Structure 1
């Protein structure tokens, strides 16, 4: 009698589990499709610390002695995406380094257009945004080289003694065509741990 009551009155947990698994799978597929439909792919670091989106058709290239991660467009090879990770004092937070404008100007002077580099750069815009407990500084630069002008977007975040600088750069001629995508890519950078 116990066997008939067990099967007769209580629903099996198996259909519910299958439904949950299918819902999770569909959610994952829809998320992947929406990123692909927007022309973007996802990248996650092997150690699971960070992730970001990058444009479809771009390829990762290895650079020795430079940024930790570099992608570039196969067709417009001067369009790049890079991530530089620098060690800093682990007790610092981003605000201790200065405001978004102050950090943006420091990067302009020391990284983007240091003295003697033959480049000039202007900080066009600097803003701050919060994502959970972390502060991000979003920066936009107009960069002038001897033979052409470029445009660069970057986001900067500090976590556990590491300063992450994630940047996308293109020729000024293409800026209007790619600026919305570049804003989406740069703002997609996230820390996972």
Structure 2
């Protein structure tokens, strides 16, 4: 049944129907592809952890650094990395003190260690519970010598290992990728 039949003259009805149907189909196709695009799943070979990473990013092999690294092919300074390290007494003490202490510890040991060429500020620190584990979600601004960056991270300790997943971009792109990075960081989970 034609919804315009009784309300619009024949020529106008034909014009609307002629462009409205293709427009509606285009919106449906774009909506479907947008919901399928955006994030891909990564699972460690041993099945221990999993997370989502942005579509169009590629994995990079590094030695002596993070266990997993992805970066954007177009904006190559946008990165996602996972560090896995043994839990130390200092890490345990920070965890007992809460999200702010975990964030400050990560800032001083990895993001902007003393004597380095960068400075950083912890912008936000919060805890979330997932399957009986405490995750510390952290947000930083990082000042390099030539630019400012923004970084999100999540930290969780389990079975003597400290997992730190972080996503970083330059400050100019932060507004465009903030929601995506929040999804990525929030997707990290331990699977066994």
Same fold flag (TM > 0.5): yes
How much does 1:110 deviate?
1.2
Alignment partner, residue 108 of structure 2: 109
Written as runs of structure 1 = structure 2, the 5 A alignment for 1:26-175 is 37-88=36-87, 96-175=95-174
**Which secondary structure does the structure 1 equivalent of 2:173 belong to?**
helix
Q: 1:112 to 1:105 in 2, by over 3 A?
A: same
How much does 1:96 deviate?
4.5
Q: 1:142, 1:40 → 2: CA distance?
A: 24
Q: 1:34, 1:130 → 2: CA distance?
A: 32
After superposition, the C-alpha distances for 1:49-104 in whole angstroms (9 at most, x for unaligned) are: 000000000000011000000000000000000000011259x8687443100010
After superposition, the C-alpha distances for 1:79-138 in whole angstroms (9 at most, x for unaligned) are: 000000011259x86874431000100111111001121100000000000012100000
**Which secondary structure does the structure 2 equivalent of 1:82 belong to?**
strand
Q: 2:191, 2:92 → 1: CA distance?
A: 17
Alignment partner, residue 26 of structure 1: none
Alignment partner, residue 30 of structure 1: none
Q: 1:179, 1:40 → 2: CA distance?
A: 14
Question: Contact 1:94–1:135 at 8 Å: present in 2 too?
Answer: no
Q: Which runs of 4+ in 1 moved over 3 A?
A: 33-36, 92-97
After superposition, the C-alpha distances for 1:135-165 in whole angstroms (9 at most, x for unaligned) are: 0000000000010000000000011000000
Q: 1:96, 1:179 → 2: CA distance?
A: 26
- Aligned length in residues: 160
How much does 1:174 deviate?
0.0
Q: 2:165, 2:95 → 1: CA distance?
A: 20
